[in-house]
Structure 1
Amino acid sequence: MILTARGIDVVGEASDGVEAVTVARELRPDVVLMDIRMPNMDGLEATRRILAQAPECRVIMLTTFDLDKYVYAALAAGASGFLLKDVTPAHLAAAVRLVDTGDALLAPAITRRLVERFAADPPTPAPATGPGLATPAVHRDLAALTSREREVLTWMGRGLSNTELAGRLTLSEATVKTHVARIFSKLSLRDRAQAVVLAYETGLVAPGDADAVGPQ
């Protein structure tokens, strides 16, 4: 897939997971569009290796399969988003811009399926295999957060955007962004994707919670 959009430069391509790791190491792209199913090395393992050597990189997983196990596996591997391959070019370009700013592609519907699947069969995060790989979120110390920050993290785990959080908590969007930034810093989180994984691995979000995301 060749992405042509204003402000987005395609700096490299790869035909399989092994080549993707090599190209990412050499070119250090800001965002990688990664296929989950590839020869020689799948996209999940390639994502783990790319982020181990370039943790500042953002990865969007592309797949033809809208399956829960891939959603969790992609996020656990460190991906910042998850899209089906039939996404429109405009949506894909918007997704690249979104994750490049540190946000994540986590719609409430995907978050809900993720939480429900986790409750039924908690996945075991892959062990760290190299420098730069984050430890499982369940080991993070939430005691470092203020009560407001825990509340913000909980709602992030339910899939709310900063704008939705501002409305839910009656705060300015700038204040919400400040809380989110402090949460990321205190818990060594890269983006919202990791925040969602953390929220349900630590029990802040439970089955059914992700349904409660509409306006009050």
Structure 2
Amino acid sequence: MIRVALVDDQALFRAGIRMLVDSQPDLEVVAEAGDGSEALAVIPAAGADVVLMDIRMPVMDGLAATEQLLRMPDPPRVVMLTTFDLDEAAARAIRQGASGFLLKDADPEFLLAAIRTVHAGSAVIAASATRDLFAHVGGTAVRAVPPVYATLTEREKEIFALAARGLSNAEIAASEYLSEATVKTHISRILTKLGLRDRVQLVVFAFDHGLV
């Protein structure tokens, strides 16, 4: 059973999402909160696996709450809820470690699939969407490339650059005349060396350090 927490200042919206989530045999809403401060009080005790977090709320917004949640031991996966497709706040949340964002008017089936995807360890949004988001909103000042980047082989740096542009494994395989399995292995090694969780975080790393 995947344990879900809902954080949104609109009670009616939460009620609709709760009804949808609880209708699934493998999903269960275990906590609700109307603002970020309340979320920090109830989510750890509830043992939520996935948190659907509104970005804009009174008292404490979703960004501040997410930052604190992800500092906790064994934190849940956090998906930001937003009304804007290319949202600077969503970009900030992803930098903090959120697993992506969903539009509040997303198709119900897509929302349910997103919860399951995040719980399984992947990001909600594709690397290509992340690239578009960061290209649109712009980034913070470019930081120096950390020494760990030098541990990548030349081939891994080539694969890194293609992944940072948002190309899928299949697209990288086609452009480099490699098998998808080989590309997957390269990506896995790159993520391990750089200490990154997934391809979305790879895109963030590339933007933050001027590598894309």
Q: What's the TM-score once normalised by structure 1's chain length?
A: 0.76
Of structures 1 and 2, the one scoring higher in RCO (CA 8 A, sep 6+) is 1
Secondary structure (helix, strand or coil) at the match of 1:10 reads strand
Mean CA deviation greater in 104-113 or 58-67: 104-113
Say whether the 8 Å CA contact 1:25–1:54 is kept in structure 2: no
Shift of 1:140: 6.0
Say whether the 8 Å CA contact 1:137–1:197 is kept in structure 2: no
Residue number in structure 2 paired with 1:208: none
Question: Which structure has the highest strand share of the two?
Answer: 2
Secondary structure (helix, strand or coil) at the match of 1:9 reads strand
Q: Which entry has the higher C-alpha Rg, 1 or 2?
A: 2
Unaligned runs of 5+ in 2: 1-16
Q: Which amino acid aligns with 2:173?
A: A
Match for 1:9 among 28, 33, 49? Answer: 28
Distance in 1, Cα, partners of 2:72 & 2:44: 7
Shift of 1:69: 1.2
Shift of 1:87: 0.3
Residue number in structure 2 paired with 1:200: 207
Shift of 1:43: 0.6
- Using a 3 Å threshold, how does the CA distance of structure 1 residues 96 and 168 change in structure 2: closer, same or farther? farther
Distance in 1, Cα, partners of 2:145 & 2:76: 23
Match for 1:24 among 43, 52, 59? Answer: 43
- Asked whether 1:117 is paired with 2:137, we answer yes
Shift of 1:166: 3.3
Say whether the 8 Å CA contact 1:63–1:85 is kept in structure 2: yes
- 1:7-156 matched pairs, under 5 angstroms: 7-54=26-73, 57-104=76-123, 105-106=125-126, 108-118=128-138, 122-123=139-140, 139=146, 141-156=148-163
Q: Which amino acid aligns with 1:141?
A: V
Shift of 1:188: 1.4
Distance in 1, Cα, partners of 2:128 & 2:208: 17
Distance in 2, Cα, partners of 1:17 & 1:137: 33
Q: What is the number of residues matched between the two proteins?
A: 192
Shift of 1:193: 2.4
Say whether the 8 Å CA contact 1:80–1:192 is kept in structure 2: no
Unaligned runs of 5+ in 1: 126-135, 206-216
Shift of 1:78: 1.2
- Residues 160-209 of structure 1: per-residue CA shift (max 9 Å, x gap): 3334333333333333332222222211112222211101122221xxxx
- Using a 3 Å threshold, how does the CA distance of structure 1 residues 31 and 176 change in structure 2: closer, same or farther? farther
- Residues 32-86 of structure 1: per-residue CA shift (max 9 Å, x gap): 1111011211111111111110455321111112343123212112111111100
